[in-house]
Chains A and B, each alone.
Chain A
């Protein structure tokens, strides 16, 4: 009767948390900003999100089928990539943009490097940068639909708040509140600081991410901005810079992407600081108003180096004999 006993090396118990659940929680955490984005920008935003997710999932499935690899579409990682890509698109972008971006993200950035866990850059961000360089006009046109013009502040011009500030605009309390709530122009998922914070706090509470990367990223950017931003420690400008652009989306959801962030704890802190400084350099001294995407994919490439110099000291290593 005992012929069916199974043997394996220890341990014989496993935590119930799986990769699928982690990915699913990231999707849940992105829901507030997704829902807000659709509410804010209207139907086209919704369509872009659907197309982007569908493209990513289909690309992954078809590639794996053709290559006779194990199907991994059920692990939700392609859904996360598709959603993040869509949240990084301007709300009135044409429908083929997410298709091109989705195929690029999954096929070139993820699968050709070996699939889940092997990519050296965040697929969604790499795709965004690819689109930004190839279709600069479309990707930097933040004009909104007639539906959105009713509630999005300063809807007539095509520039974002961050660009206005860089051009020398003054900041007042209403503007700041708009930026915090998200009634401003920008990509679909980056405008609402509060919705992104809710998602970020959810991920921290569920122990999906730690505070190490987001906090060091935001803090080092803030310090950099206070020194070089030209407005000193003026809280109004600082708050506007923190809420505006892709900083919140980037810091909570993309810099924390496991695959492209350092494995070591001290490495994560180094990584956060580098991100903050790079974002600051791009925003303050760079030609464009945004710097988060470039800062993150550039830092992604530094990760192997960061990991190599931050190997932790093993327990008791170098221990002295007690006299």
Chain B
């Protein structure tokens, strides 16, 4: 039997060597901290502080705006300077709470608990109050994900430690340095699902992590470490479920429909902290890397810290970069301004000397089929992109356009350098909006 994986996918330059051996360093923020009210999927949080209030680290500054939402906590102590619109990593202006750091780092008192003594409802409540959301990038509120309609039908809780995006090493460091946190978090999550097994899924380019995790979960008969083939997008939810369990879901199904729950390693560690230690989500691991960075690093930073500060702490730029990306090179967002706060979902700041995208001119499609070969969603990207360019929604839907997971493999591989993913993404947005009507 070969390694667990899926069909399609790509093997881009992984760039992880730049930062993989740099232990996570705690960073104390200097200037103002900026907390976007919308840093998760769902309703934006509602501020509960006003200008001039003094706040402590760990204090709720905005409460959940609905069921699918999450509260936001201050990550330092200081004074609220106001609520203003600021630029965030996805490129739009969002209402943010601004806190002036007083440098004292005083925090509220946390209330640890023994998970064995907590009921399921209490566990979910502690996760909700801890403001835990999916930290792999999507930011879906974790307490919602962990409360499917029929928890007894969940067979697998998958911890996503694939980290298939090139350059990113934050999850790698987390698994290597704090495996017990991940196993602990998974144990808490398994308490919610009586019939489930826990799989920690790691790509085979991180054998050291797999080994550490195996040691950490020794004697846990419900937990197993699964080694997956190194390939992008192995960490995409649907690909991960398929690789680990052999079950397939389409774009209109939830993982729970296949009896699965998938959470990123950083999220699972946050669950542990929220439930067992009583600490809300106010830090995250961020990789600052790329060939334009002097000294690539992995930082444990307070949410709300400015990106520019992270870049300074990593030695600044070797030369002025052409492109700075929030996240990995394949699914991240290109930034036009570095004055952006770290949110719960910021996994990396990638600074590249050269931008291969703007320096390459798209040429005619020669129908080579490479996009079809690499597409993990098994659609025909070249055809979908043509339908998208012609605004032919009918054919776009007929050719399964909605099954695209926007992973970017097709654009990456295209020898004619055509922006296939971009065309398909725009059309999907339009088609999804029409479907909702």
Contact = CB atoms under 8 A, between A and B. Distances in A.
B367 A261 contact: yes
Contacts of A115: 364
Contacts of B368: 22, 258
Contacts of A311: 380, 399-400
A13 to B, nearest CB: 4
A212 B262 CA distance: 37
Interface stretch (B42-50, B214-222, B243-251, B294-302): B243-251
Interface string A49-83: 00000000000000000000000100101000000
B71 to A, nearest CB: 30
A263 B367 contact: yes
Contact of A12 (B320, B332, B372): B332
Interface residues of A, number: 46
A75 B415 CA distance: 11
A22 B415 contact: yes
Contact of A317 (B153, B250, B406): B250
Interface stretch (A1-9, A162-170, A241-249, A275-283): A1-9
Contact of B417 (A1, A12, A18): A18
Contacts of B333: 10
Given A315-B238, A322-B259, A13 B366 contact: no
B366 A316 contact: no
A314 interface: yes
Give the secondary structure class of B's interface.
loop
B364 A117 contact: yes
B427 interface: no
A7 B334 contact: yes
A19 interface: yes
A258 B146 CA distance: 47
B403 A12 contact: no
Interface string B306-339: 0000000000000011111100011111111110
A118 B330 contact: no
B383 interface: yes
Contacts of B258: 319, 321-322
A199 B369 CA distance: 21
Contact of B357 (A1, A8, A17, A117): A8
Contacts, number: 187
B375 to A, nearest CB: 8
The interface centre, meaning the residue of B323, B373, B376 with most chain A CB atoms within 10 A of its CB, is B323
B363 A5 contact: no
A22 B369 CA distance: 13
B413 to A, nearest CB: 5
Interface in B16-51: none
A268 B247 CA distance: 28
Contact of A5 (B251, B324, B330): B324
A11 B322 contact: no
A9 B363 contact: no
B431 interface: no
B265 to A, nearest CB: 22
Contact of B366 (A21, A258, A265): A258
A158 B27 CA distance: 84
B149 to A, nearest CB: 11
A12 B357 contact: yes
B248 A315 contact: yes
Given A4-B320, A14-B411, A264-B380, A319 B249 contact: yes
A319 B329 CA distance: 31
Interface in B342-397: 350, 352, 355-358, 360, 363-369, 372-373, 376-380, 382-383
A175 interface: no
A174 interface: no
A264 B372 CA distance: 7
B408 to A, nearest CB: 3
B433 interface: no
B357 to A, nearest CB: 5
Given A7-B334, A14-B356, A117 B377 contact: no
A15 B250 contact: no
Interface in A1-43: 1-2, 4-15, 17-19, 21-22
B126 interface: no
A321 B358 contact: no
Given A13-B356, A21-B415, A117-B367, A317 B330 contact: no
Given A10-B421, A13-B12, 19 more contacts: A5-B334, A12-B325, A12-B330, A12-B352, A13-B166, A13-B329, A13-B412, A14-B412, A15-B414, A18-B415, A263-B367, A263-B369, A312-B372, A314-B400, A315-B248, A316-B238, A316-B253, A317-B250, A321-B253
Q: What 6 A-B pairs have minimum CB-CB distances, sorted nearest first?
A: A11-B408, A316-B250, A314-B403, A314-B400, A9-B422, A7-B334
28 contacts: A1-B320, A4-B322, A5-B324, A6-B322, A7-B323, A7-B334, A8-B323, A10-B332, A11-B329, A11-B408, A11-B411, A12-B323, A12-B329, A12-B355, A13-B166, A15-B10, A17-B415, A18-B417, A72-B363, A72-B364, A115-B364, A116-B363, A117-B365, A263-B367, A264-B372, A315-B376, A317-B250, A322-B259
